[in-house]
Amino acid sequence: MPVGNEDDVNAAVDAAHAAFITGPWAKTTPSERADIMLRIANEIEKRATELSLTNTLENGSPVAETSGAAANAASIFRYFATLAPELEADDVRPFPNGQGESLVRKDPIGVCALIAPWNFPINLMVTKLAPALLPGCTVIMKPASPTPLSFRIIVDAITAAGVPAGVVNLVTGPGRMGDLMVRHPKVAKVAFTGSTPVGRHIAAACGELLRPVTLELGGKSSAIVMEDADLNEMSARLIRSCMRNTGQTCYISTRILAPASRYDEIVNMVTETIATAPQGDPLDPATVFGPSANHAQYKSVLAHLDSAKAEGARVTTGGEPAQLGGELADGLFIQPTVLADVTPEMRVAREEIFGPVITIHKYDDLDDAISLANNTEFGLGGIVFGTDQDKALEVAEAMNTGSVGLNFFASNHAAPFGGRNDSGLGVEYGPEGLAAYLSYKSIHQR
């Protein structure tokens, strides 16, 4: 893939701007664009195998994970296509004093700069692209440097579906290009998923420019295990909910909060589940734990393990680089690790590790568990494991976070997804996610 530069960013923004102002896209109706989005979904599904393999080859996510990427991307396009009638419906609001009415228009916000990280390079861009396209925005997108390839296939699908030239523009290259996109005078809206430090940097630029921005950032989420939890069921859901994508998922609940009364039992179950999950070649469909996506991430995870040991955490499985044989000998593998007896002040309890590492913390009662869960600068995901659904719901309500799952976790394209505190600003998905790409205008008449 080419390493782009400032000229490429300018050319791409100019193309997006021209397509927004003069091109046919913004003049089509939401229903017409929704039809094209359904075609995009079909074209993506035709490329499912190519997308899965490319994604796995570029970031090492197990194919068991990436094989769902095309279906998920298609589903996001199809979901947002269903919102076309909401954009087309007449929205007439009488003045409260009865003297006249206002026509509320939902205009496309303009050229959108979309920036995604390397852990889910397809999904995390499509989450921004689909709601931008429906109201008639045009976009410039930058994937992360370690994963420039797989989104290229999505752009091929978009072209095949008949999206006019200039509407969707992809640039590849270093993070500096993202910075240029964010500050470009012709960009009207920024949407970013990535680390909290880069998110802060973007927020500062957007604050200065008064430019709307959506930020999906890091997380440090907790799974509160209630005393009545079914541990067999929890074991079956553990990897998907707490260690998805070799632990490189923003919303997973990597901190397990276990009641003192069942602490040893839970430590044993979590240890057994993690220790027996297959680790190896990400191209093998049986693999659960693949390598770290890149060398910087590998070193960062190992540094977290060193700090955990130095601070007194108990390693119940893993804890070291994994030495695999054959072709995998040079891979960036880390043993899937469980750290027990973790206390709130330890670094591994506070920072996002983004690797195959689970921490287990002991709590005395549910109030204690909730305060441990809320004792974080982040607020993205969370889970409550328990059989009493009402009680589990009560605990979920008390957690200071953007999303919580009861006995599982999955994001729902129809419900808002976003973080509190250092996990971000604004939401994606649902009508609320679409609203971020709209510019409202009220026309008052008597």
DSSP-derived letter for residue 420 is S
Kindly state whether residue 175 participates in binding ligand NDP, applying the rule CB under 6 A: yes
Write down the least CB distance from residue 326 to ligand NDP, Å. 29
Q: Which stretch binds ligand NDP (CB under 6 A): 34-42, 130-138, 176-184, 301-309?
A: 176-184
Query: Which of the residues 381 through 440 are near ligand NDP (CB under 6 A)?
Result: 419, 423-424
What x/- string results for residues 263 through 302 when contact with ligand NDP is judged by CB under 6 A?
----------------------------------------
Kindly state whether residue 195 participates in binding ligand NDP, applying the rule CB under 6 A: yes
Write down the least CB distance from residue 24 to ligand NDP, Å. 30
Kindly state whether residue 201 participates in binding ligand NDP, applying the rule CB under 6 A: yes
Q: State the residue for tokens 């003069």.
A: 22
Secondary structure class of 336 (helix, strand, coil): coil
Q: Which is nearer to ligand NDP, 84 or 380 (CB)?
A: 380
Largest CA distance in the chain: 79
How far separated are the first and last CA of the chain, in Å rounded?
Answer: 57
Write down the least CB distance from residue 154 to ligand NDP, Å. 15
Q: Which is nearer to ligand NDP, 3 or 103 (CB)?
A: 3
Kindly state whether residue 380 participates in binding ligand NDP, applying the rule CB under 6 A: yes
Q: Which is nearer to ligand NDP, 36 or 213 (CB)?
A: 213
Secondary structure class of 7 (helix, strand, coil): helix
Q: Which residues contact 68 (CB under 8 A, 6 or more apart)?
A: none
Q: Which of 58, 250, 352, 428 is catalytic?
A: 250
Task: Count the site residues for ligand NDP by CB under 6 A.
Answer: 32
Active site residue 216: yes
Secondary structure class of 27 (helix, strand, coil): helix
Q: Which of 216, 242, 352, 428 is catalytic?
A: 216
What x/- string results for residues 94 through 133 when contact with ligand NDP is judged by CB under 6 A?
---------------------xxxxx----x---------
Cα dihedral sign, 21-125-434-184: negative
Residue 200: name the closest of 182, 187, 188 by CA: 182
Kindly state whether residue 307 participates in binding ligand NDP, applying the rule CB under 6 A: no
> Which phi and psi angles does 98 have, rounded to 5°?
80, 0
Active site residue 250: yes
Q: Which stretch binds ligand NDP (CB under 6 A): 59-67, 175-183, 315-323, 430-438?
A: 175-183
Q: Report the amino acid identity of residue 418.
A: G
Q: Kindly give the pairing relationship between strand 92-94 and strand 101-108.
A: antiparallel
Q: Which residues contact 59 (CB under 8 A, 6 or more apart)?
A: 118, 119, 121, 146, 147, 293, 294
Kindly state whether residue 178 participates in binding ligand NDP, applying the rule CB under 6 A: yes
Q: Which residues contact 437 (CB under 8 A, 6 or more apart)?
A: 108, 109, 112, 131, 132, 134, 135, 137, 189
Residues of this chain that interact with ligand NDP (CB under 6 A) are 115-119, 124, 142-145, 174-175, 178-179, 182, 193-195, 198, 201-202, 216-219, 250, 352, 354, 380, 419, 423-424
